[in-house]
Amino acid sequence: MLTEDEKQKIEAEAAHHLDRRAVASDALRVIQRRHGWVSDELLRDVAEFLGMTTDELDSVATFYNLIYRRPVGRHVILICDSAPCWIMGYDRMREHLARRLGVGLGQTTPDGRFTLLPAACLGACDHAPAMMIDEDLHGNLDEAKIDAVLEQYK
């Protein structure tokens, strides 16, 4: 069930649009910020609140790769697998992250601290290879920099 705070935040966004459905992605982010992901129950509640069907809202949720429809770790690591990042060492960085975290792509560490996901592009081609943790972009990666960055996220 949506909290009053969540409803107010969604309403504040909806006030800027003629059609409430235009804030679907914003509403999903409001939910995700509080819960970490968007469950089926919350998806239904948001859809009803916006006057959408569950299928319509789910199509929005699954279109955006930063809306999580299943549980993720406290911190989500997106590792860029675009062509520039591949050229600049994506494979080496992905392998280092997998070894360091003990998980592969699409998996969450046993302690629930990190989820490792691929990203088609992070828009940091001039700093390849790159990764994003939560909303923080990190570029010009090497193994030592990855280790130092991971220590910042407890």
Q: Do 78 and 124 meet the contact criterion of CB atoms below 8 Å apart? A: no
Q: Do 21 and 28 meet the contact criterion of CB atoms below 8 Å apart? A: no
What pTM, to 2 d.p., does this model score?
Answer: 0.85
- Domains and their CATH numbers in the chain: 4-63 (1.10.10.1590), 75-150 (3.40.30.10)
42-97 per-position pLDDT tens digit? 999 999 999 999 999 999 999 988 899 999 999 999 999 999 999 999 999 999 99
Q: What percent of the chain clears pLDDT 70, i.e. is strictly above it?
A: 100
Cα–Cα distance, 94 to 23 (Å, whole number) = 34
Alpha helix (H) ranges present in 15-152? 24-35, 40-50, 54-63, 83-87, 90-101, 143-150
Q: Do 38 and 67 meet the contact criterion of CB atoms below 8 Å apart? A: yes
Helix, strand or coil for residue 102? coil
Residue 154 has pLDDT above 90, yes or no: no
Helix, strand or coil for residue 69? coil
